[in-house]
Amino acid sequence: MAIVQWKATSTGAAAEQQAKAYLIDNGLRFIEQNYKANVGEIDLIFKDAQQWVFVEVKYRESDSHGFAAEMFSQSKRSKFVRAIMCYLQAHELNCHHTPMRIDLIAIDDKTLNWIKNV
């Protein structure tokens, strides 16, 4: 888990851009952003060596209504996994033989927290 200081922004799109830049700076290879399927959306898709990394980005300006990481609920995770399955199928990747993980970038105010393999 990595925690760094982050420049505050007011939009989710800006948070995604910050997360994308951070992951690229940490050696991941960018593949796609904002993949949409009927069942959900994947914010960022990367490769870490041969492993596919599907990233959800959550941003909270303050913790008055909870922390960003807490916003990746079980129902959101279920939709996210269904979107991953759609992505794999669309790209002719077998979900049983494709190395992959789900990472979460949680941004609380000015702190970026990268949680691997949630």
Which structural domain range is residue 62 located in?
A: 2-115
In the predicted structure, residue 65 carries a pLDDT above the cut 70: no
Residue 2 pLDDT > 80: no
Specify which of 4-8, 26-30, 62-66 reaches the highest per-range mean pLDDT.
Answer: 26-30
Q: Is 57 left (phi over 0), alpha (psi -120 to 50) or beta?
A: beta
For 96, other C-beta atoms within 10 Å of its C-beta total 6
Rounded Cα distance between 60 and 82, Å, is 25
From the list 75, 47, 61, the residue with the least C-alpha distance to 106 is 61
Total-model pTM:
0.86
pLDDT at 3: 56
Question: What value does the mean pLDDT take over residues 35-51?
Answer: 96
Asked if residue 82 has pLDDT above 50, the reply is yes
Domain count, the chain: 1
What average pLDDT does range 65-70 have in this prediction? 72
Is the pLDDT assigned to residue 33 strictly greater than 50?
Answer: yes
Residue-wise pLDDT tens digits, 17-31:
999 999 999 999 999
Three-state DSSP at 12 gives: helix
Is 107:57 a contact under the CB 8 Å cutoff? yes
The stretch 96-118 carries a mean pLDDT of 92
Q: Note the pLDDT of residue 8.
A: 45
Stretch 53-71: mean pLDDT: 78
Q: What is the pLDDT of residue 14?
A: 87
Domain of 82, CATH number, reads: 3.40.1350.10
